[in-house]
Amino acid sequence: MNLKLKLRRIELGIKQKDLAEKVGVTQQHIGNLESGRCTNPSRELMIKIAKALNTDVQTLFFSED
């Protein structure tokens, strides 16, 4: 489960649908990333999501805190 992704998206007031459109994937794919059903996003997608959420890939996908 990527709780950091979900919390950051909610913190910014962005809906799954809007984030998905911004990074070029489906809303279901964003949901799958947040829930942990998809655990291996591409490097390109991680970069796009991090930029869309005004953060960095390390913090969003790899940090433990």
pTM of the model: 0.92
Confidence of residue 64 (pLDDT cuts 50, 70, 90): confident
- pLDDT of res. 65: 63
44: pLDDT strictly greater than 70:
yes
Q: Residue-wise over 4-28: b if at least 16 C-beta within 10 A, else e?
A: bbbebbeeeebebeebbeebebeee
Distance, CA of 43 to CA of 40 (rounded, Å): 9
Query: Per-residue pLDDT tens for 1-43?
Result: 789 999 999 999 999 999 999 999 999 999 999 999 998 999 9
| Residue 14 tokens, joined | 């962005």
Question: Which one is predicted more confidently, 25 or 65?
Answer: 25
Is it true that domain 3-62 has CATH number 3.40.50.1240?
Answer: no
Give the domain ranges of the chain: 3-62
Instruction: Give the DSSP per-residue string, 15-40.
Output: -HHHHHHHHTS-HHHHHHHHHTS---
